Structure 1
Amino acid sequence: MSDYESKIQRLIGRWEGKKAEEAEVIEQHKRKAERDGLRQTQTHTNPNASVETFRENLDTPVVDKCDVLIVGGGPAGISAALAAARTSTKESPIDVLILERFGCFGGVITTVGMETLGWYRYEGCTVDSEGIGKELERVSKRMGGSDRKWAFNDSECLDTENFKFIADTLLTESGCRTLLHTAFVDAIMDPEDPNKLIGVAVENKSGRGIIKASRVVDCSGDADVAARAGSRFTKLNRKDAMGLTTVFNVVGVKKDDFLKHIEEKPATYTDWSKTWQQDTTGKEDDLKSPYMQDEFEELNSSKKEKKEPISFGGSWSALTEKGEATNLNLVHLKGFDPLNAQDLTKAEIMGRKGVMEAVAALKKTVPGFDDIKLRNVAMTMGIRDSRKIIGKYNLTGRDVASQAKFEDTIGVFPEFIDGYNILILPTTGRFFEIPLRCLQPDTDNLFVAGRCCAGDMVSHAAMRNMMACTVTGQGAGVAAAISFRNKELGSKVNIKDVQAELVRQEVNIHGYVGAGAEWASGMASGIKSKI
């Protein structure tokens, strides 16, 4: 074992010692399919409160049927839908439907304003899975939706408004059917097999309806379908879960003044520890980072004194020629439950107020920002942490940090960990394989993709990232389509067929292919040029 490998394993070991009891496994009880009886009012009393309940007698119409249903239209959902649709052939057609609760596809990209699928990427040093994630970047660039790089490395910055149209175009051209403004509300189980999912209940402006589906891919971000279907999951308490963030953009930056400021006072990843307690391997510490923290010292002191659950500081993404500073990831809220509507409401309101305070602080403290104006606030907060399913296999931090390989790999992701006080950047060419089993909950004909796939906290700090979500989305979409085409249960899908289709779709399922010794030996010198 090399010195670096020993160091990273010690780091993971220290973390495991701190977090030995990380989360309670929550058993979801299967709900009865029958909803008979007259609508009535009942009162249920518990030691804490009196809850008035209604029993509804519902005859819900079947409004649609499909072969593969994708619930959620973010990076995972788009990837799952495209992958499933591309698995379809004239000889074996597959009807794919994707639904989304908002009025646009894109998820965290378009509704939260996160511009970078892979902000961690250092060219020549980072292994990618290729596939649909990289395609989204290439297509965005070709369609005028990506015209700049993330500060200090080689990651593409997507135009989050343009991406709405790009997502529409890709999904429509794939032959996938789309349904916006539609919320998932319940899982429909097979009356003869309560562990088998046969569709979902949805609600929209047209009313309530059932969509019957042979296979379902849960890309909700919160494992909503899996939870309603009775699948087991883990969930951290408010104290241990990662915080929420309200992202915003500003205009009117005097570019030359600001660039001079960051050149005279460059920030590195060491500075992140001013906001978050953080462990690294050491190789990250001197890399430049688009980071602001000291600028909010007065504001943070005031909030801390008032014991408000909000803090300021973090990263910015890019600065355009027209003086737009985008993807300002500077307003963070802690102690809110993203599965509680009251908590979400309070956090959204507090976050928007925080944005106004952050803009005022930036005007006061940052050269070149003295005349900025708020351009926009994200339409919803960024959520890092909620449910994680219990899968057929639960990925671990040691898998991520030891270049784990699996017979049922559906793609790879670089050794990149960002969360729970750990930051490891993928500057060494190391990577791990992602097994299909971590996308398979204990509900049949259901696959789960995105940040709610199965794993512990450290693996989640890797898998929650958008490019990883595209990998699991594409893998789940292909697996769902193949299991339908082969007339196999989702839990029994032939992994060789899945892998063959993923390779046909240009997914790198086993790591960097054809790199050779020259590429490997060049990584060390490559990273020096990025410092």
Structure 2
Amino acid sequence: MDTQRVQETPREATIVARSDVVVVGGGPAGFSAAVAARRMGCSVTLLERYPYLGGLASGGMVLVLDDMHNGQEVTTTGICMEMIDRMARVGACVYPPEAERVTDWAMYRKWSRWGVFDFRSHVRPHPIVMAATFDPDGWKRIANEMVAEAGVQTRTHSWFSSAIVQDGAIKGVVCETKAGRQAIMGDVVIDATGDLDVVAAAGGDFTHGAYMVTTVFRLGGVDTDEAERVQFEEPERHAALDKQAKKIMGGSWDYWWLKTPLPGVVWCNCPHLVGYDGLSVEDMSKADFEGRKRIYALVQYARDHMPGFQNCFVIDVAPQLGIRQTRLLRGDYVVTKEDVQDRVHFPDTVARGRDYYTPYRAMLPKGLDGAIVAGRHYSATESAQKQSREIPPCMAMGQSAGVAAALAVQGGIAPRAVSPAAICAAVRAQGGDPGDRPSANAKILETAA
């Protein structure tokens, strides 16, 4: 036996499901893709490795939905807004009413600790915009309801293992489960894994990027009224305390804690950890340990020194490490940083974020048929992805991917042959905005590069 490798014998997998569309990954993009395809009338199987849907939204506890407003209009609608509204109806989501989305110090004081302001703006105070704060279990609850209502065959506890490829096209996938290896066959496979697991396993082209990772956590027992009072009425005292808290963490956003729909419970999108590879078992294990160590050091400091935090306690640490970037698809088109910053509108635009657009070609693996990619691992440069990877635009991409897959199945054609105009029309019929109507400040490309 080779001292470095083990040769496995050929293995088999039992085919447990066949459907028109197979979606791998039940995060925001995959969930949206599955619901959209099923609403088009296709049979859909959704595969998820964890026992819940939501990915980094619920399991990673990325509890603010932003990047969905360009200053003049809400740009990400469709399934994303449906999720927000349904969570709000059960008390699991909070967002500012339209009348309060203004640039005003009173509104900033009221809403900023919900995280619903335009943090990219150079205006002070930051404008309050359409964004939403939600409860992670609220997301899981509503996601379950929506896939059940749509009729999606959902298989959790199914860890993707390998892609089934024939004649240059993906025909299905194999998952590892407690019941053994299981195969799920489909006419179109949507890779919504976040790490491009399916396309990479099928031999698709990609680059390997990296960005900071985060061990997100929540604190209970926080007097948010007192904490906010000190922030706005004793700014020098607040700034000194906040500076030390961030030093203990070793890295965080400007607002390291935000309010949630649960009274006295705050969301801490920190500590940020750099130098870790989200594809490395060793690195992820180290990040988990280091993150908890910093969390409890911060909690002790907050109890001892920070107004409103004297009785705080850790409720939970996110079960999923906050991974922002790993594999990125090298698709038929690679979105650049300039495309995002210049608001380039493509002739094959099928999704939009804050004020940027996603071409359908950036969702198609080069030289590989039968697959569509949706999520943070779409075809973009590392710098472009860092500016366009938020949850709402990934959900918009997922909805368009699900629609595209359904159109491919119904037309008996490859995903690459589906008309972007047809995708946009179907997304609009579902209540979404695919970005086919560019905003006034968009840079319009008349032909595909």
Task: State the TM-score, normalized to the length of structure 1.
Answer: 0.72
Quote the residue 1:181 is aligned against.
Answer: 157
Pairwise mapping of residues 368-379 of structure 1 onto structure 2 (< 5 A)? 368-379=308-319
1:456 matched to 2:360? The reply is no
1:256 matched to 2:236? The reply is no
- Which of residues 136, 142, 148 in structure 1 aligns to 2:89? 142
Pairwise mapping of residues 117-266 of structure 1 onto structure 2 (< 5 A)? 117-118=65-66, 120=67, 125-147=72-94, 150-151=114-115, 152=117, 153-154=128-129, 155-190=131-166, 193=167, 195-236=168-209, 241-264=210-233
SS in structure 2 of the partner of residue 184 of structure 1: strand
Q: Distance in 1 between matches of 2:379 and 2:188?
A: 19
Shift of 1:184: 0.5
SS in structure 1 of the partner of residue 333 of structure 2: coil
SS in structure 1 of the partner of residue 387 of structure 2: helix
Runs of 4+ that moved beyond 6 A: none
Quote the residue 1:395 is aligned against.
Answer: 335
Shift of 1:147: 3.8
Q: Which runs of 5+ in 1 are unaligned?
A: 1-41, 44-49, 89-93, 272-290, 301-309, 415-430, 518-531
Whichever residue aligns with residue 362 of structure 2, its letter is C
Q: Distance in 2 between matches of 1:264 and 1:402?
A: 39
Q: Distance in 1 between matches of 2:241 and 2:175?
A: 42
Q: Distance in 1 between matches of 2:301 and 2:378?
A: 38
Q: Distance in 2 between matches of 1:197 and 1:203?
A: 18
SS in structure 1 of the partner of residue 226 of structure 2: helix
Preserved contact between residue 127 and residue 511 of structure 1 (Cα < 8 Å): no
Shift of 1:76: 0.3
Shift of 1:148: 5.7
Shift of 1:454: 0.4
Quote the residue 2:416 is aligned against.
Answer: 491
SS in structure 1 of the partner of residue 215 of structure 2: strand
CA RMSD of aligned residues (A): 2.4
- Which of residues 247, 265, 274 in structure 2 aligns to 1:324? 265
Q: Which runs of 5+ in 2 are unaligned?
A: 97-113, 118-127, 442-449
Q: Distance in 2 between matches of 1:182 and 1:452?
A: 20
Quote the residue 2:293 is aligned against.
Answer: 353
Shift of 1:318: 1.2
Query: Percent sequence identity over matched residues?
Result: 31
Shift of 1:214: 0.7
Whichever residue aligns with residue 191 of structure 2, its letter is D
Aligned length: 408
Q: Distance in 2 between matches of 1:387 and 1:298?
A: 31
Q: Distance in 1 between matches of 2:411 and 2:283?
A: 44
Quote the residue 2:124 is aligned against.
Answer: none
Q: Distance in 1 between matches of 2:257 and 2:381?
A: 29
- Which of residues 406, 412, 416 in structure 2 aligns to 1:481? 406
Quote the residue 2:102 is aligned against.
Answer: none
Shift of 1:480: 0.9
Q: Distance in 1 between matches of 2:382 and 2:263?
A: 40
Q: For residues 444-500 of structure 1, what are the alpha-carbon distances to aligned partners after superposition, in whole Å with 9 as ceiling and x for unaligned? A: 110111000001123202221101110111111111111111000122222232222
1:507 matched to 2:429? The reply is no
Preserved contact between residue 23 and residue 47 of structure 2 (Cα < 8 Å): yes
- Which of residues 22, 42, 51 in structure 2 aligns to 1:103? 51
Q: For residues 393-418 of structure 1, what are the alpha-carbon distances to aligned partners after superposition, in whole Å with 9 as ceiling and x for unaligned? A: 1111111111211111112211xxxx
Segment of structure 1 superposing worse, 497-506 or 472-481: 497-506
Whichever residue aligns with residue 497 of structure 1, its letter is A
Q: For residues 119-150 of structure 1, what are the alpha-carbon distances to aligned partners after superposition, in whole Å with 9 as ceiling and x for unaligned? A: x5669545413111111111111232214662
Q: Distance in 2 between matches of 1:116 and 1:217?
A: 25
Task: State the TM-score, normalized to the length of structure 2.
Answer: 0.85
Preserved contact between residue 129 and residue 511 of structure 1 (Cα < 8 Å): no
Segment of structure 1 superposing worse, 169-178 or 150-159: 150-159
Whichever residue aligns with residue 184 of structure 1, its letter is F
